[in-house]
């Protein structure tokens, strides 16, 4: 893989840390800014909202810019946003800074996916996307625990200063290693790009992403109480077990990319089936500590094995028009899945079914994603036949 791809990985690492590290600092932030834990938790929702809004809007606004310039601009927004977080004097400005930082998230991964696939041969495109997303997985394994420790030792603001420094480093390596395009992307009408995305195969592909990832976060959001209250694991063992989950993320991410290069459609369906099976196995496995640890690692592997195939699948369905926009929309779809899964898991607990029901509820999402993916395949074939039967324009 070219070095430029690892420059994108560095940017992905920084973005991953700033997205997830706040989960370990909610008590510190809430206490310092004198807000409740529930209010501090909204900093996570605000970030997700920023991703969903920022992904399509910034992609449209920067569509005619050279992609390297876009990536550098996004890392600048990311760095300034984290500096604003570190300096925020109150809760309201911290929320605004979090949303500002999130604006760069979706477009970075969306445009970065297009750049990554352009750096490698045709048969390595999905693997290239997986390498870039490795930054996100390493952020969960190393960056988030380190950032949490730093915030607990030196104050939560120190974490955001450190992440801003990561942003500066990522800006530098992208500027140094990512090749400049020989020419800017062709001017395109965002309305035409949006029309391409609104075709049934692309929309169904995006819905597949939402449903597939909802299954992951329906469980992962509540993984700590599942481990302590169902499996009987000591609270102090949760962090080491999450390292097992993080290791699964890395393995699953790279494996999903390699398999997708060999057969994209089969990998999309295969990884979703694997995710559904793992989630169904979690229900009984969570009753014993050893099996709970094993299945937690499998959840990480199965969950992230879907990422590169789903990203590549949506890119392929938007081929010829609006690829960057479609890619950014798919990043937004992952975040919508996060929110949907967390809500569904909470609903299952709140309705009296209890924590033990969460894995089975979560399994319904990848099963639904498989059905939607099947509809997407049918829609793609119909669109292909319609295009083949369309009369050619007269010369």
Task: Summarize pLDDT for 180-190 with one digit per residue, the tens.
Answer: 876 555 655 66
| pLDDT score, position 161 | 95
What the chain holds in terms of domains, given with CATH numbers, is: 1-178 (1.20.1250.20), 187-386 (1.20.1250.20)
| pLDDT score, position 165 | 94
Residue pLDDT, tens place only, 224-279? 778 888 888 887 777 788 788 888 888 888 888 888 888 888 888 999 999 999 99
| pLDDT score, position 352 | 66
Residue pLDDT, tens place only, 131-144? 887 887 788 777 77
| pLDDT score, position 169 | 92
Q: How far apart are CA 290 and CA 194, in angstroms?
A: 48
Measured between alpha carbons, how far is residue 247 from residues 103, 140, 299, 303 in Å?
Answer: 28, 9, 10, 12
Question: Do the Cβ atoms of 216 and 271 come closer than 8 Å?
Answer: no
Nearest to 335 by CA among 163, 58, 107: 107
Q: How far apart are CA 126 and CA 296, in angstroms?
A: 25
Higher pLDDT, residue 212 or 246: 212
CB atoms within 10 A of CB 102: 26
Q: Does the pLDDT at position 364 exceed 70?
A: yes
| pLDDT score, position 117 | 80
Q: What are phi and psi of 196, to 5 degrees?
A: -65, -35
Q: Does the pLDDT at position 195 exceed 80?
A: no
Q: How far apart are CA 118 and CA 182, in angstroms?
A: 13
| pLDDT score, position 391 | 57
Number of H helices, E strands in the chain: 17, 0
Percent of the chain exceeding pLDDT 70 equals: 89
Question: Crossing angle of helices 3-20/144-154, nearest 10°?
Answer: 50
Higher pLDDT, residue 12 or 110: 12
Mean pLDDT for 44-49 is: 78
Tokens linked to 95: 């929320």
Rounded to the nearest integer, the mean pLDDT of the chain is 82
Q: Does the pLDDT at position 320 exceed 70?
A: no
| pLDDT score, position 80 | 94
Mean pLDDT for 4-28 is: 82
Q: How far apart are CA 202 and CA 121, in angstroms?
A: 24
Query: Is residue 198 within a helix (H) or strand (E), and if so which, with residue range?
Result: none
Mean pLDDT for 283-300 is: 90
Nearest to 201 by CA among 388, 386, 389: 386
Q: How far apart are CA 88 and CA 66, in angstroms?
A: 33
Q: Which of 190-194, 216-220, 371-375 has the lowest mean pLDDT?
A: 190-194
Mean pLDDT for 56-62 is: 80
pTM of the model: 0.74
| pLDDT score, position 395 | 43
Measured between alpha carbons, how far is residue 110 from residues 114, 238, 297 in Å?
Answer: 7, 33, 27
Question: Do the Cβ atoms of 50 and 338 come closer than 8 Å?
Answer: no
Tokens linked to 285: 């496995």
Higher pLDDT, residue 200 or 364: 364
What is the SS3 assignment for 391?
Answer: coil
Residue pLDDT, tens place only, 65-121? 888 888 899 999 999 999 999 999 999 999 999 988 988 887 888 788 778 888 788
Q: Does the pLDDT at position 47 exceed 70?
A: yes
Q: How far apart are CA 133 and CA 304, in angstroms?
A: 9
Q: How far apart are CA 65 and CA 115, in angstroms?
A: 13
Q: What are phi and psi of 46, to 5 degrees?
A: -60, -40
| pLDDT score, position 322 | 63
Higher pLDDT, residue 341 or 395: 341
Mean pLDDT for 338-345 is: 80
| pLDDT score, position 138 | 80
Mean pLDDT for 360-382 is: 88
Question: Do the Cβ atoms of 196 and 322 come closer than 8 Å?
Answer: yes
């Amino acid at each position: 893989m070219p070095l430029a791809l690892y420059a994108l990985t560095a940017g992905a690492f920084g973005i991953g840390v700033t997205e997830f590290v706040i989960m370990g600092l909610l008590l510190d932030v809430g206490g310092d800014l004198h807000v409740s834990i529930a209010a501090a938790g909204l900093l996570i929702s605000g970030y997700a909202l920023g991703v969903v809004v920022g992904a399509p809007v910034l992609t449209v606004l920067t569509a005619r810019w050279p992609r390297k310039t876009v990536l550098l601009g996004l890392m600048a927004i990311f760095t300034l946003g984290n500096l604003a977080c570190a300096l925020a004097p109150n809760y309201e400005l911290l929320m605004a800074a979090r949303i500002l930082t999130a604006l760069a998230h979706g477009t970075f991964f969306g445009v970065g996916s297009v750049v990554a696939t352009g750096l490698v041969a045709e048969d390595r495109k999905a693997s290239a996307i997986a390498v870039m997303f490795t930054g996100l997985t390493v952020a969960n394994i190393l960056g988030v625990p380190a950032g949490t420790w730093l915030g607990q030792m030196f104050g939560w603001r120190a974490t955001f200063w450190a992440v801003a420094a990561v942003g500066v480093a990522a800006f530098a390596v992208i500027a140094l290693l990512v090749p400049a395009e020989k020419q800017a992307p062709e001017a395109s009408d965002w309305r035409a790009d949006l029309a391409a995305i609104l075709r049934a195969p692309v929309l169904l592909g995006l819905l597949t992403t939402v449903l597939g990832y909802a299954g992951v976060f329906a469980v992962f959001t509540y993984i700590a109480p599942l481990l302590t209250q169902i499996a009987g694991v000591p609270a102090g063992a949760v962090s080491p077990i999450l390292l097992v989950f993080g290791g699964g993320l890395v393995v699953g991410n790279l494996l999903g990319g390699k398999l997708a290069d060999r057969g994209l459609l089969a990998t999309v369906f295969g990884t979703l089936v694997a995710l559904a099976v793992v989630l169904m196995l979690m229900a009984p496995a969570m009753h014993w500590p050893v099996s709970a640890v094993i299945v937690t690692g499998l959840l990480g592997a199965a969950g992230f094995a879907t990422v590169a195939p789903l990203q590549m699948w949506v890119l392929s369905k938007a081929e010829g028009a609006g690829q960057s926009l479609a890619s950014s929309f798919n990043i937004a779809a992952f975040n919508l899945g996060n929110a949907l899964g967390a809500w569904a898991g909470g609903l299952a607990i709140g309705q009296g079914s209890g924590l033990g029901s969460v894995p089975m509820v979560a399994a319904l999402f990848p099963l639904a994603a498989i059905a939607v993916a099947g509809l997407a395949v049918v829609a793609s074939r119909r669109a292909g036949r319609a295009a083949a039967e369309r009369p050619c324009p007269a010369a």
